[in-house]
Each structure stands twice: as structure tokens, then as C-alpha cells.
Structure 1
Amino acid sequence: MEQQGLGILLGLGSLALGYVFSKIGEYGGKEVDRLKNVPRYYDYSKLRNDLSASSNGVLSQVMVQGTARRPPGSPSLYSEDAGIEGAARLVITTNTSKVYNQTNDKWEEKNRSLDNVCLSVPFTLTDPKGNGVTVENIHMSRGFRSILQMVYQFKREPEQRSIGDYAVNMTLSEIPTGSRTKEYMLLYGSMLAGIGDAMQQGGSDIVFYPSEVGKSIQSLIYEKEMIVSFSKFMTTVLVLGGCSMIFIAFMLPWIREKLRRESERDLQSY
């Protein structure tokens, strides 16, 4: 009876997870449909015309794609270690240490992230014809990490410690092994795309505030489609698995009774 109850609980849990994944897939499907209907601008002259035709000079939730350029005379971010300029910069520093796991009776590596540096400056996104829009605050958008390139990494060895410090670390079951620093930048000349709001300022100037970015418009849609496909797959697996477990749990007493009768019949035949 306990096994039957456990099977039913596992089946119901699997169905519940299947429902969660179905909702994720449903939401993702709506998001994909929405993105496919969002206006896309590869030619910024058309974007400028549509902004001029709008009542307030603002277009919400549009897609733009182009190449990152540095406007003449504008500031940029500079990596002293890599000797490269870019429009955005992300520095991730991680402390590493060896931690003793008493359960597994072995030392394992532990990472602890420190304060990260994340900055961006306004830059120009140009279309194939050379028309440009100014992009601001790109470091605050979703998917920001996907458009960056790693330009520098450095591993720092731990400082020399005294025997006393080493003994304390051993007592605490943690030994520092150093730190790792990785630097990423949005380099000028990179192709990227974004979803966000476009605003006309100062006559012909266009400013774009992205809420989500990627390497291309197609990649932005493709990532959502992959989430939907995975959610549908997991929904199918979990629902079928849950139904199977519940069916087997309910059939278990009947199967046991049938096996018992067959066993008694075999004994009587001898």
C-alpha cells in the first residue's frame, strides 16, 4: 500500500511539473508571436519616417539591428590590460578556494564572486546605408552578456601566508587558491540587435533604449523558440511519465493478486 501511495504521489508531482512547463511554453509561445509581429528596422531612414509620423515622436517595442560605431568626439571605455576601446565593459572577479567536503572526504573548488564592474557609454548603431541611431544604457538590458567579447583574463595566485594563517585555514576547512579576473567588452564594429523604445530628439536625432539585446534579430527570436520547444518536450515527458506512474500504482494491487494466484496454482499443480 505504501508503494502504491508513493507511486501516486510521484505521478501527481510529475503532472504538476508538466503543468508548470506547459504554462512556461504557453507564455513563451505568446512572446514568440509578439516578437514576430514587432516592427523590425534594418533601414533607419524608415525608422526616422515612422517616428516623424507618430504623434509623440516615440515608438515603443521595436527591433533594430546594426553595427556598433563610436561617434566622433564621444567618450569610450578603454581596457588598459587589453589595450582596446569599446562601448561597454564588464569585469568579473572571482575568488577561488579549496573547501573540504566531509561527506565526500575530498577537497572541492569553491568560487565566490566579488564586486563586478558593468559600464556602458552611448554609441551609434549604424545600418548598411550609414544611417545611425544612438543607443543608451545597453548594460541595463537583458542578454547584455551575449553581445560581449572576452578581451582579457588573469589569474592571481594567493599571497604568501604564514604557517599560522595556513593552520587557521585548515581548521576552517578552506584554503584560498587565488582569484580570477575576466574582462568583457562590446567592441566597435560588432553586429548586434535590440528590442526597446525609439525616441526622436532634437529634430533628426534618434535615441534607442534597449530592454533586450542579442547578436541579431533572428537570434533573439530563436532563443525564445528554443525555450518553447524545450518546455513542450518536458511537458510531454512529465505528463506521460506521471500518467504512467499513476496507472501502474493503481494496477499494482491487481498485478500482485494475479501473481499470487498464479503462484498458488503452480504450487497446487505440484
Structure 2
Amino acid sequence: MRAFAFALEHEPGADPVSDAFREDPDLYAHSLSCNVTPDHFWRVDRLVGPTAGLEAATAAFESRGRAVDCLGVEGPGAEFRFELLHRDPTSRVLFASWARTDGCGSIPHLALDHLGPGVLFATERREARYEWRVLLPDDAGLGRLYDALQAASGDDVSLDLRQVTDESGWLGAYSGRPALPYAQYETMRAAVERGYYETPREITVGELAEELDTPRSTLSYRLRRAEAELANSFVRGER
């Protein structure tokens, strides 16, 4: 098996979902499941970020319909179904499914057409970048899929081939980011960016708390909880 990675970027105003992520750089999404048959496609996604950004992105997903995963089409499409499976102040879990139509050049269906069955998908979104990872058999005709993706992409979508690697590159993307509460994630991201985890450390907890205008005890608690979740997630993954 090998992994094929590529990214889509829509021009501003071309896609409401892309615009919602572009407007809030703290939003992040990754697929929990992507499933395709010759006639249907359904998926589950997890979104993480500030509440306002989550509301905007969720509304854009629902209004955009199947066109979120179709290149060069508009409208909700046939038999489109959308459901909010979970919500809290820092995350959403979304379900969507729809029937295939002739007007939809969907990425999963193009992969099914050109690579055959047994192909797996994982996606990630941040800002304007919508990245796909495709796990496929070694002997699959990857060139035909890439040509089909380029042909289906409109003028307002750029397609960026990222890499073709072994399956380990796909596994890391499919696992997605651990389900940290947003405040913990933001605190840990700031700690990483400011060198808290470097050796030697470039900033102390007190200095970081002052920069973030957060009580030292609160920041320390968030880091401990985030570190515990990451450690537990890693150990569970090894079992």
C-alpha cells in the first residue's frame, strides 16, 4: 500500500466552507470516516475551534451540501442528508451523505472510478487548505486519478500534489488530532511556539502565562491536562 496526498485551495468567495475556515485560522477539521460506493458517499467529520467559527463552518457545511466534496458544482444535490451528531463549546461532529449524480466530480468517486475498490480516505482542513490523503494499492493507476482531478477542478480551485509515500504517512493523517478541548489546545500550541518544550526551555510557565494574560495556575492546569490526554492517546494507540 502507498499514500497519495494532495490539497485543494479555493479562491476567496468560491466556496462557503473554505471561506469559513479562511476567516477563522483557529478552526481545524479532520474526517473520522469517509465511505464511498458507486452510487453514494457518506462521511463523518470533527471540527475544533472557537464557538463562533464552529457555528459559521457548520452552517456552511449544511448549506453547501454535497458540493463540499464535488469539484465545479453548486447546490445541495440529490438525497443530501446532513446531521449534527455532537456539539459542545469547542467542537462539532458532522454527518453528511448524498447520492451520486452526473454533475458531481467528487474526489472519492473519481478515486473509485480510476483506482477501483479498496481505497481509503482521510481529510484535514485548516484555513483555505483542504488536504486529502488516499491509501491505495501499490499497483493502482495513480496518474489517471491525478489527471481526472485536474480535469474536474474549476478555475477557482488550485490542486497541489503533496507526496506519494508508504502507508505510514497516511496513518498519521487518519488518526487526526487528539480530542483536546480548545483552550487546552491553544495553550499547548502557544507553549510549543514559544519554546516551552525546547531543551533548555526558552520560556517559563509564568512568562507564558503573562504573555497569554492567563492566570499561572490556569495555564499550568491546561498544559497538564493536555499532556495527560496526549500521553494516554499515544499509549492507547500502541496497544
Q: TM-score, normalised by structure 1?
A: 0.21
Structure-2-length-normalised TM-score: 0.23
Higher relative contact order (CA 8 A, sep 6+): 1
Max Rg structure: 1
